[in-house]
Every structure is written in C-alpha cells, then in structure tokens.
A and B are shown apart, each in its own frame.
Chain A
Amino acid sequence: MAGEPLLRLDKLSTHYIAGGGLRVVRAVDEVSLSVNAGETLGIVGESGSGKSTLALTIMRVLPMAAKIVGGHMWFEGEDLVQKTDAEMREIRGKRIAMVLQDPMASLNPLFSIGNQIAEPIRVHERVSRASAWERARGLLKAVRIPSPETRVKQFPHEMSGGMRQRIVGAIGMSCEPRLLIADEPTTSLDLTIQAQYLNLLRDLQREHGLALIFITHNLGIVAKMCDQLAVMYAGRLVEAGPVSRIFNAPEHPYTQALLNSIPRMGERDQRLTAIAGQPPDLSALPPGCAFAQRCPQAFHRCRSEAPPVLHPRPDHTLRCWLSVDAPAERPRVLAGAAAV
C-alpha cells in the first residue's frame, strides 16, 4: 500500500486534567500509528490502557476534563486536531463513524429505529425525510434485520441485544464513512451472535472498502478480524505491526505476556499464565518504562529512562529497551529486587 495512510496519528497525547491541573492523567501518551484504506487495525490492551480515550480523541468527542495536549491526527491529508468544532461535526458520522460499547444504552428509547438511522443521513446529506427513511430500510436489510419494513417503525425496546447492536452498526454505516471505529462492539453479546456480527462487519468492510479500527481486549477477535495490531499499555503504544508477525513473534514482554494468557488449541497441558501485578496509576507514572514493574525481563535502564520508539522493521513499531541494549550489557534485576 503505497502513499499516505487513511489515518495517521503522530505523537498524539490526550490528558485528563482534574483538580485545576493538580492531577494529570496521561490517558493517551504520544501514540503514533496509522491505518490504511480498507485495512483493519486492532487495538488491544487492558481496561484503562487508554484505548477508548484514543477512539474518542479521534472522534473529538472527549469529556470536559479531557484535552488533546499534543500531536497530530492526519486524516485524508487534513489534521483533525486543528479542525474547528463545526468542521469536526461535518466529519463525524459522515467520514469517520464510531460504534459504542453498549448497544443497549446507545439507542435513544424515545425515537423509532428509522428515525435514528435516518438522522445522520438527513443532517449530513440534506436529503428528504422519505429518501432518508428509504436508505434506513436498505441499511436494516444490509445488516440482516428481517422484515425491515416493519422494524423501521419500531422502538429500541422491541429489539433483542444482537439486533440493537446491528442497528448501531447500521447507524455507523449510514453515511458510508471511510473509517469505522468499533469500541468493543461485541462485549455484551453471546458467542454465536458475536460471530454473526463480526462476519457482518467484515462483509460490510469488503463491500464498501472502509477501514476499521477494532478496539477490544479479545485477542481471538483480533486474530479473526485484523490485519494490523497495536498493543497499548498505560496510555502508550508498546508494540504495533502486522497481526501475523506479532502473534508469531511478539517482541515486547507485555505482548508476550498477553499472548501467553490466552488458551491455545492443542496445548492442552500447558497452564495459562496471568500477568502479575497491577497497571500503574496514570497520574503518577514511573520515570522509566510503564511496564517495568511487572516485566519479567526488566533491567536497571527500564526503570530510569523511558524506552524510545523503535522501528526494527519498516512495518513494526516497538517501545522497549530490550531490543536496544545487547543481551550482554543487561544487568538483570533479580526477582527479589524487583519487589523493592
């Protein structure tokens, strides 16, 4: 894929500022990554690692306390950080859409399904009510909702969870965006419905050639859905690259630990390993690498200096001292000392 990616984040930082600036939570800390047209990027990380804040930053619908404090978001040649609120409103829902975590709560209970799907079409494309509703019926059909003619007039409480999630998906697709961000869209669905929904998203992606950012903590979904993977830890990007490379040869100790914590077929006797310890407090990050406290391979430099962003291969990003310092130069911190 030659040329400029569809979306390129360049050292993007979003902080939550509380107590009049006394407490600063670095929810997104100098994140750089890119998504090409038609490609799927998975973003994984623990709860609180800044995945959702990153998504809301791209959409520019952050809560009051959160501020974009640095960096750029290049989308189709324009920097979204520099856009005014009015310009951003034209992009939101039209060129970049987002699907929220909770399908039960993200539809307004007082308006019909048709009204809610037609709404962004009417606002962004200024078409008549009748043709927007016609499009809404078409979208319901596209997300495989049976008898769209009657469903379009019904209300959210008359739908099952899986249907509501597909409706939220239809709202996301309504103006044929170039990029769709899905923030854990399947967490509240059971496994069969989950699989149906993922297949649906993939089909829609193929038909429309849209780029997907898939935020999840489910590595199985990443393996099934994504071309590229970005791993976040404590607001920072620790490793990014093609899914096949990262799954087969993870280089960052956190990525390795994450992959070791999921069960694999055929390795029936092997125990799963959990990652010991807790993620750090984002308002009081240690000076070095944020993962150093929990890293089994950490050495002295990991605790004193933040690791640089490395590109061991053109399509691979890594933020770890292990690949900078040769193994001989690494005085290991012993397990006993790590507890201090």
Chain B
Amino acid sequence: MGRYITRRAGYCLLSLFLLSLTIFFFVRVTGDPAALLVEPGASAEDIAAIHHQFGLDRPLWVQYGLFMWTLFHGDLGQSFYYQTPVFDLYMSRLPNSLMLAAVAMIFSLIVGIPSGILASVRVGRFWDSAGKMFALLGLSLPSFWVGLVLILVFSVYLKWLPSSGAGTPLHLLMPAFALGWYFAAAHMRLTRSSMLDVLGSEYIKLARLKGLPEALVIAKHAFKNALIPVITLAGINLVIMVNVAVVVETVFAWPGIGRLLYEGITFRDFPVVQGVVLLGGAMIVLVNLLVDILYATIDPRIRLER
C-alpha cells in the first residue's frame, strides 16, 4: 500500500510540472497586460516602466525560472491589477467556491445515486424513462440558461429567492442547482449503467441462487460493486465543480474562484490566471490521488497490484 501511494504521488508531481509550463506560456499568448493598465495614448516609456515593474522585459525562460523559484517558496506572485498576493485573493474566494461545490455535489449524489439504482432495477419502465428525461435535460441544457430561467422564475416572478450575491443559505440554492443538475445527470447515468453491468454478473446470479432476499442482493452485492466508478467520478467532479463554476458564478454574481479566473483573463492578470489554474490543477491531481487510495481501500484487488 505504501509503495502504491508513493508511485501515484510521483505521477502527480510530474503532471503539475507540465501544467505549470503549459499555463505559463499560454497565458503570455493572450496579449500585453500593460496595454490594459495604462491610459489610452500612454508613452512608450510608461509602458516600458510597467513591463520593467512586472518583470515582463526579461527573457521568457528567466521569467519562468523566477516564477518557479518563488513558487517553490510558496509564493504565487502579486496580482497586476489588485496589487495584492494572488494567494490571498485565492483564499478569500475559495470558501465560497467550496461551499457552492459541496452543496451542488450533495444535491447531485442525493438525486443521482438513488435514481440511478431505481432506473437499473426497473429497466425500460416508467422510472427509467423519467430518469432518462431528467438526465437528458441536465446534460444538454447550458448552465447559464438554466441559471437565467431560475432567476426569472424564482426571483423575478415568485420573488422567493435572491437573484445574486452571497450571504444566506437561500443565496446558494439556485447556483447549486444550476451547477449540480449536470453532475446529478452524470452520476445517475453512471450509477445506472454500472448497476446494470453488475446485475448481469455471475456473482449476482449466485447471490440469488443462495436464496438471498432481492433487497440484500441489490444493496449489498450489487451496490458496493457498482459504487466504485461512481466514487471515482464524484471525486473528480467535486474538483471540477470548484473550477468550472466560472459561468454559474458569473450569472449569479457568486464571489468564488470561477469569477476570479474570469477577471484574471479579462485583465490579462498573468499571476492570477497562473495561480488559479495551478491551484485548480493541484486540487484535481490531489483528488485523483485520494480517489486512487480510496479505491484501493474498497477494492482489495488493487492493494496488491505492483
């Protein structure tokens, strides 16, 4: 088990290094941040001074080296626009994003897993078709559209929920639903297909041949096996939720990381974009690692793998 974890952790560090290289060079293709920070018609010296201040006048590989050097010392750099450390900006927004993602995840699992199981034991009947409809809509309706319709119905017409901002639990409901529907659909479809796979297996047949009650066959023998791919997906999805909520956070003016990234791209705020992407990448890699370890604990076969 120890060697297994060490090996996975090594792969994680390699992925993060490649990500830092990629984001560093890609963000510099978007244009010159100085052009957005000076008055129109500013002199060439002013622009050069800004370049010098941010270190943008040095060769690219020197800039990358400095970036990595400060990164190893736990510093993500200063935001060009806010003039504050990127890490502080990030941490001030992170709790909001986590809260939104957590609520959206709980919603997606509470809806997705039971309805997926129900669909798999009632294949082709009413609940299977109803679930299919729910999943089809969830997967195909864009979240900004769902968000706008929710605002229209629950804020404008019914006046039940606040249309934007954060602060009370009520503020969370609509963004969590707009973000979570897609994932509820994904979790439901995966639970269903994974259950169907397992229900067709020989060990389920043997469980029935033993004379076990059907509820025990489903809840013990089928569910635990079917849960393995769903746990993997949900773990990765939680991190994806934190990092793809850009659109939902913008629609509901939710002050999270998604909005920070959106602002960073708009202002060509290189350190902010680099920082948000790298921290997001680190989260995804870490969750993958945790899922792998959790996997190995649930499934005894993986533990002994070399």
Contacts and interface: CB of A to CB of B under 8 A. Distances in A.
A162 interface: no
Given A61-B205, A100-B206, A94 B211 contact: yes
B209 A61 contact: yes
B306 interface: no
Interface string A136-180: 000000000000000000010100000000001001000000000
Contacts of A110: 224-225, 298-300
B202 interface: yes
A98 B212 CA distance: 13
B209 A93 contact: yes
B212 A171 contact: no
A61 B208 contact: yes
Interface string B220-246: 110011000000000000000000000
Contacts of A100: 202, 205-206, 209
Interface string A72-88: 00000000000000000
B210 A93 contact: yes
Contacts, number: 72
A106 B211 contact: no
B50 interface: no
Contact of A120 (B203, B212, B225): B212
A10 interface: no
A89 B211 contact: yes
Contacts of A168: 206
B127 to A, nearest CB: 16
A107 B206 contact: yes
Nearest to A117: B210
Nearest to A171: B210
B301 interface: yes
Contacts of B207: 108, 119
A263 interface: no
B300 A155 contact: yes
A123 B210 contact: yes
Contacts of B212: 89, 93, 119-120, 123
B210 A102 contact: no
A171 B221 CA distance: 15
A109 B301 contact: yes
A157 B203 contact: no
Contacts of B205: 61, 100, 106
A306 interface: no
A94 B209 CA distance: 10
A257 interface: no
B6 interface: no
A59 B209 contact: yes
A210 to B, nearest CB: 16
A76 to B, nearest CB: 16
Given A110-B224, A157-B300, A105 B203 contact: yes
B211 A102 contact: no
Contacts of B202: 100-102, 105-106
A119 B206 CA distance: 12
B301 to A, nearest CB: 5
Nearest to B213: A89
Contacts of A107: 203, 206
B213 to A, nearest CB: 7
Contact of A106 (B203, B220, B300): B203
B43 interface: no
A94 to B, nearest CB: 6
B202 to A, nearest CB: 4
Contact of B301 (A94, A105, A157): A157
Contacts of B203: 105-109
B263 to A, nearest CB: 47
A124 interface: yes
B201 interface: yes
A79 to B, nearest CB: 18
A92 interface: yes
B153 interface: no
Contact of A124 (B211, B301, B304): B211
B211 A120 contact: yes
A17 to B, nearest CB: 15
A93 B216 CA distance: 15
B218 to A, nearest CB: 13
A281 interface: no
B156 to A, nearest CB: 49
A97 interface: yes
B216 A123 contact: yes
A93 B213 CA distance: 11
Given A100-B202, A106-B205, A91 B300 contact: no
Given A89-B213, A105-B202, A123-B216, 4 more contacts: A90-B211, A92-B211, A100-B206, A108-B225
30 contacts: A61-B205, A61-B208, A89-B212, A89-B213, A92-B209, A92-B211, A93-B210, A94-B211, A97-B209, A100-B202, A100-B209, A105-B202, A105-B203, A106-B202, A106-B203, A107-B203, A107-B206, A110-B299, A110-B300, A111-B220, A119-B210, A119-B212, A120-B211, A123-B211, A123-B213, A123-B216, A155-B300, A157-B301, A157-B304, A171-B210
